[in-house]
């Protein structure tokens, strides 16, 4: 058994700005900040998307190394491509595997890219994408079958498919049950309520603020579970975000510009295109990636409204982004990319009545990590953690190495991230 237990709670899209602006509305997080160490400005990775970010958090590596370069895969003929769901897609060692090899027990609740992993108690994040698959079946294949069955049996009534805030209520109930009854050494929890509300209603909308308050209460419930289990005195907690969001009102359909040049072939009557593309843009919302090297394309793209910057493939690698893309295009705040073709224009205003349908948003993420006021943040608290301290800056990739040190574990290969100085009490090894 580990000297200390660790519970990591990811509040999707939590930014530094949330804790700066709304601290009085989140009494539990406020208490944790006072009792622990607040790492205020955490710089994200490129792209600032959920799956790449969570994989960077748990491996201490950038996407170029860990291989989760986007949320979804390149499947141009599908309106809703597959996500990177499976552990086998992660090319670097995640901390949960390091922990298991050291004989620790592990649990994860909707932590991205953990399907078919060796986590002891795992509810993997996976949802049905093709009409002929059924959600329960897909999840059963992907998760710990008996565990999923038990959790669904006990708490399934809290859930309405994968809709929020009910999904987070379900996840919280499952995590609480597991902390009490299984007492895992490492627990990873991913709550998505606020991210969903932001996409739909805007970054600082009343709905997002209400979600933040719900998350504050869920964090309290999870911590209470460790008190009930009698493990609280030996447990360190981390409450962190993966990225922030930026409000948008315009879409850039870059593939339409390529279609006009005859570089890809739209499928009639659909927003998708054929597999025989010579150039394709693959969206990460706030940035997009081009997958063929054609220099004059850069000129074409540079002329499109809303394009902030074009990075070469080599620059993309330096940023830790997908090494396979030929170039990477970042949107200006207010704009985001889609993969769609057959739309009225290359740049299109988001119709408010379309919000909530596929790829229609009021706010997104996926930009480069250097956009202004775009930091995420992290709160560390527990017996291994300094009390009442603030650390000004860190990188997302520093979080995994810091978790490893708390648990007395070592990644098998050097990580891009380093243990964050000033967080862990000096007497802890």
Footprint of Zn ion (CB under 5 A): 12, 50, 195, 242
Between 12 and 399, CB nearer to Zn ion: 12
Maximum C-alpha span of the chain: 66
374: tokens are 């775009």
| Minimum CB distance to Zn ion, residue 345 (Å) | 29
Nearest to 244 by CA among 286, 307, 214: 286
| Minimum CB distance to Zn ion, residue 59 (Å) | 16
Q: Is the peptide bond before 165 cis (omega within 30 degrees of 0)?
A: yes
Give the SS3 label for residue 72.
strand
302: tokens are 């540079």
Between 4 and 54, CB nearer to Zn ion: 54
Q: Do 244 and 374 contact (CB within 8 A), yes or no?
A: yes
State the distance between the two ends of the chain, measured CA to CA, in whole angstroms: 16
Give the SS3 label for residue 10.
strand
Q: Do 81 and 338 contact (CB within 8 A), yes or no?
A: no
Strands 246-253 and 334-338: parallel
Between 12 and 97, CB nearer to Zn ion: 12
Q: Which residue is nearest to Zn ion (CB)?
A: 50
Between 195 and 234, CB nearer to Zn ion: 195
Between 4 and 365, CB nearer to Zn ion: 365
| Minimum CB distance to Zn ion, residue 193 (Å) | 11
User: Cα–Cα distance between 184 and 174 in angstroms, integer?
Assistant: 13
Between 242 and 322, CB nearer to Zn ion: 242
243: tokens are 């990225």
Q: How many residues does the chain have?
A: 429
């Amino acid at each position: 058994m580990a000297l200390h237990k660790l519970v990591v709670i990811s509040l999707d899209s939590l930014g530094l700005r949330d804790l700066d602006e709304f601290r009085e509305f989140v009494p539990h997080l406020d208490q944790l900040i006072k009792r622990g160490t607040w790492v205020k400005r955490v710089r994200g990775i490129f792209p600032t998307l959920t799956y790449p970010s969570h994989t960077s958090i748990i491996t201490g590596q950038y996407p170029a190394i860990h291989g989760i370069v986007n949320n979804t895969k390149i499947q141009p003929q599908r309106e809703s491509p597959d996500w990177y769901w499976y552990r086998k897609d992660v090319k670097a060692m995640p901390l949960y595997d390091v922990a298991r090899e050291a004989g620790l027990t592990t649990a994860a609740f909707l932590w991205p890219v953990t399907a078919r992993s060796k986590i002891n108690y795992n509810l993997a994040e996976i949802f049905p994408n093709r009409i002929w698959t059924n959600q329960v079946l897909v999840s059963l294949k992907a998760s710990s079958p008996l565990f999923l069955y038990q959790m669904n049996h006990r708490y399934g009534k809290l859930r309405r498919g994968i809709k929020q805030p009910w999904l987070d209520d379900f996840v919280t109930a499952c995590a609480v049950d597991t902390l009490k009854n299984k007492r895992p050494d490492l627990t990873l929890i991913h709550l998505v309520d606020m991210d969903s509300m932001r996409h739909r209603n805007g970054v600082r909308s009343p709905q997002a603020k209400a979600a933040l308050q719900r998350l504050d209460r869920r964090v309290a419930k999870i911590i209470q579970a460790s008190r009930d289990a009698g493990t609280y005195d030996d447990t360190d907690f981390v409450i962190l975000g993966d990225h922030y969001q930026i409000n948008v009102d315009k879409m850039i359909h870059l593939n339409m510009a390529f279609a006009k040049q005859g570089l890809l072939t739209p499928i009639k009557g659909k927003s998708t295109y054929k597999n025989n593309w010579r150039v394709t843009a693959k969206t990460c919302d706030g940035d997009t990636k081009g997958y063929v090297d054609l220099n004059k394309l850069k000129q074409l793209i540079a002329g499109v409204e809303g394009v902030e910057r074009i990075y070469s493939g080599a620059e993309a690698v330096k940023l830790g982004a997908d090494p396979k893309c030929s170039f990477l295009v970042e949107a200006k705040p207010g704009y985001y990319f889609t993969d769609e073709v057959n739309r009225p224009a290359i740049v299109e205003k988001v119709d408010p009545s379309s919000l909530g349908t596929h790829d229609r948003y009021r706010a997104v993420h996926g930009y480069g990590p250097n956009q202004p006021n775009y930091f995420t943040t992290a709160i560390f608290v527990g017996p291994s953690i300094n009390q009442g301290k603030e650390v000004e800056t860190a990188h997302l990739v520093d979080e995994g190495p810091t978790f490893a040190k708390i648990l007395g574990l070592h990644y098998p290969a050097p990580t891009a991230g380093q243990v964050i100085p000033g967080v862990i009490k000096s007497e802890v090894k």
